[in-house]
Structure 1
Amino acid sequence: MNYFFIKHLHMTAAGLSIVFFMIRAYWSVSGSGMLQRRFVKIAPHVIDTVLLVCGVILAAMIGPEQPWILAKIVALILYIGVGTVAIKRGKTPASRGVAALIAIAIFFYIVGVAIRHNPMSWLA
């Protein structure tokens, strides 16, 4: 497979994923019924599946023994956990809002790791 194509598909899916997450988090905090729409329930799974599959392919191409790839995987697990609190598991709008902000911060940590190829992310 073409590394350039997979990388750009991965980056596009990441961009769509975070934008859609922020919209859904806003709807979750504001109590919008938009979260119940079929498209809103299905699209994140499609986008995130493309993101994950591309990530696995890229890791296989690069070599998964890179420390920065492990940092991205650990941060991704944290992002997913905190993201579920932001969208559906948080008991109050305030707790969902705080979780959304933390999830967004984790996402930007992951972006920094990807750009700098360093677990220290933007601090490297």
Structure 2
Amino acid sequence: MSYLFLKQLHVACVVLSAAGFLLRGVWMLSESTLLQRRAARVVPHIVDTILLASAIAMVVSSAQWPWTSNWLTAKLTGLLVYIGCGTMALKRARTRRQRAAFLLAALVALAYIVSVALTRSALGALVWLT
């Protein structure tokens, strides 16, 4: 597979994953029963698996490892924050207020990850201020 194809697949999965997360967050806050549907529980795992696989394939094919590229290390760190906050938002936080706060934090982490990817700088969007 070409790097360009992998990148396009990765970006498409990022968009699908982010949109799905936001939708599930809205459903969670509105206490919708749609969140309990099988597709809402299965599809995100499929999309995120493809997303992760394409990321690993791009890292291997380009030989840009997170521990040697600051921006990839920042992206990986942002991903861990996003996953942690997302888990709290959709499953683990006890109150709706806590879930909403974690949802917002996860979306901020996601925005950071995207900005790091676009700028290829650990500063993300802040790189334009320097």
TM-score normalised according to structure 2 size:
0.92
Q: Structure 1: any 5+ residue segments left out of the alignment?
A: none
What is the CA-CA distance between 1:61 and the residue it aligns to? 2.4
Q: Over aligned residues, Cα RMSD in angstroms?
A: 0.8
Q: Does 1:77 align with 2:77?
A: no
Paired residue for 1:96?
A: 99
What is the CA-CA distance between 1:94 and the residue it aligns to? 1.1
Structure 2 Cα separation of the partners of residues 57 and 118 of structure 1? 21
Q: Percent identity?
A: 36
Look up the SS of the partner of 2:76 in the other structure. Answer: helix
Structure 2 Cα separation of the partners of residues 90 and 26 of structure 1? 15
Q: Does 1:50 align with 2:55?
A: no
Give 4+ residue runs of structure 1 displaced > 4 Å after superposition. none
Structure 2 Cα separation of the partners of residues 2 and 32 of structure 1? 41
What is the CA-CA distance between 1:29 and the residue it aligns to? 1.2
Q: Does 1:36 align with 2:39?
A: no
What's the CA shift string for 1:3-62, capped at 9, x where partnerless? 110000000000000100001011111111111100100000000011111111112223
Alpha carbons 1:28, 1:88 under 8 Å: kept: no
Structure 2 Cα separation of the partners of residues 21 and 118 of structure 1? 25
TM-score normalised according to structure 1 size:
0.96
Structure 2 Cα separation of the partners of residues 88 and 28 of structure 1? 9
Paired residue for 1:3?
A: 3
Look up the SS of the partner of 1:91 in the other structure. Answer: coil
Q: Structure 2: any 5+ residue segments left out of the alignment?
A: none
Equivalent pairs counted in the alignment come to: 124
Paired residue for 1:119?
A: 122
Q: Does 1:67 align with 2:95?
A: no
What is the CA-CA distance between 1:67 and the residue it aligns to? 1.1
Alpha carbons 1:75, 1:106 under 8 Å: kept: yes
Structure 1 Cα separation of the partners of residues 21 and 37 of structure 2? 15
Task: Say which is worse superposed, 41-50 or 59-68, in terms of deviation.
Answer: 59-68
